Amino acid sequence: MDAEGWIKSVIRGLMCVSGIIGNHWLGFSALPKSRAHLKTNDILFVNLASSNLITNYLVDLPDMMDFTYNFLMGQMYCSVFNFCSDLSETSSIFTTLFITVFWHQKLVGSLKRGGAPVQLDNIRLVAALLAGSWIVAIAFSLPHIFLASKNNGNNTYFECLEDYPSLEAKQAYDLMYLVFANIIPIIGIFFTSIQITVTLLQNQKRINSNTTAVTTGAKNTKITPAEPSLHSNQSSQEAVRNSNAVVPNPGQARSSSSSGSVLRAAKSVVTVATIFLICWVVHVILRLISTIQESSLIMELASYIGAAYTCIIPYIYLHGVKKFSCTCRG
């Protein structure tokens, strides 16, 4: 292997190891202690981690080790490689969409509806949506099982290719896949992340306004001289009432803590959505270009971008939900 090949292998290796560690961490952290503790958010994170691990183990790792070029099972492995690539990609995209929508609903419910239940906070509904996304992912990935072929370009290694009936058929399939499994979910994530950002900005503006009002009120408060001893009892009673007024209500404290957790998680979701949009918009553009004109360099760049996404987002989500702790769950 030449120097360029070693550099590529090292980069892919680091991305692959980072993705495997991060996605395992996210998946195990989201596992509930018992069925009674199962939450919608846990299901979404476990599904996202599982989708990304398919990419890490069955796409990135073999690609890094060149299994797709020199493998004893040849065409069969090419079929599995291409199938798993689109399967995990589609499932990961739809799961990211569901996570973004879920946390937007949680944010609005926490800030504007006093923590009222949200529509996606329903295990059965989320399970049905995830099952539907896997069905769509499998439907778009199945053609790879039947169309895979080997091309012995230079008699030294086999390259995984796909044998479509015609160029028009390949372009039609690629276009449908990009529209329904990439562009539509990306548009959904884009508009939902904008709504989350607007809600966060409005909340910050409201907090700043309240802080300014309290500060202004404190500055305008005049300190009066001490009253004669005749009114000392009345002053003492006022002091007691004022001291009681500032004692925090336990319920309000819990509500404030819950809102803070939702805000932190929502910010992490916006961060993930931003990285997602940057990665996958470029990814879709490269796929569209490769649909019109095939290029191994373009497909390699698209592969690197997809791998970068799967190895970064687990850590952002872990930070957002404060699960950076190695706790063992029984």
pLDDT one-digit tens code per residue, 8-59: 778 888 888 999 999 999 999 988 887 777 889 899 999 999 999 999 998 8
CB 8 within 8 Å of CB 304:
no
Q: One-letter amino acid identity for 217? A: G
CA distances from 283 to 59, 89, 92, 183 (A): 16, 11, 14, 11
Domain that holds residue 300: 3-213+257-320
- 230 within a domain of the structure (yes/no): no
State the maximum Cα–Cα separation within the chain, in Å, rounded to a whole number.
Answer: 107
Inter-residue contact 27 to 46 (CB < 8 Å): yes
The mean pLDDT value for 285-314 works out to 79
Report pLDDT for 110: 75
CB 288 within 8 A of CB 178: yes
Whether 23 is covered by a domain: the verdict is: yes
What's the confidence (pLDDT) of residue 240?
A: 45
| Other residues' Cβ atoms within 10 Å of the Cβ of residue 39 | 13
Closest CA to 275 of 303, 306, 300, 297: 306
Residue 328 lies in a domain: no
68 is a domain residue: yes
Check residue 27 and give its pLDDT: 92
Which among 60, 64, 63, 56 has a CA at the least distance from the CA of 26? 56
Q: Are 133 and 91 in contact (CB under 8 A)?
A: yes
When pLDDT is averaged across residues 235-259 and rounded to a whole number, the result is 51
Nearest to 26 by CA among 52, 59, 56: 52
DSSP conformational letter for 35? G
Number of independent structural domains in the chain = 1
Say if residue 53 is exposed, middle or buried (CB neighbours under 10 Å; 0-12, 13-18, 19+).
Answer: buried
**246 inside domain:** no
**Nearest-angstrom CA–CA distance, 262 and 283:** 30
242 falls within a domain: no
pLDDT tens-digit series, residues 255-275: 555 667 777 778 888 888 888
Q: Is residue 219 part of a domain?
A: no
**Strands (DSSP E) found in the chain:** 148-152, 158-162
- 217 pLDDT higher than 60: yes
Which of residues 165 and 36 earns the better pLDDT score? 165
Phi and psi, residue 70, nearest 5°: -130, 85
pLDDT value, residue 329:
43
Residue 229 covered by a domain: no
Q: In this structure, what CATH number is given to the domain that contains residue 209?
A: 1.20.1070.10
pLDDT of 245 higher than 80: no
Three-point CA angle 150, 151, 157, nearest 5° = 95
The two tokens of residue 171 are 């372009």
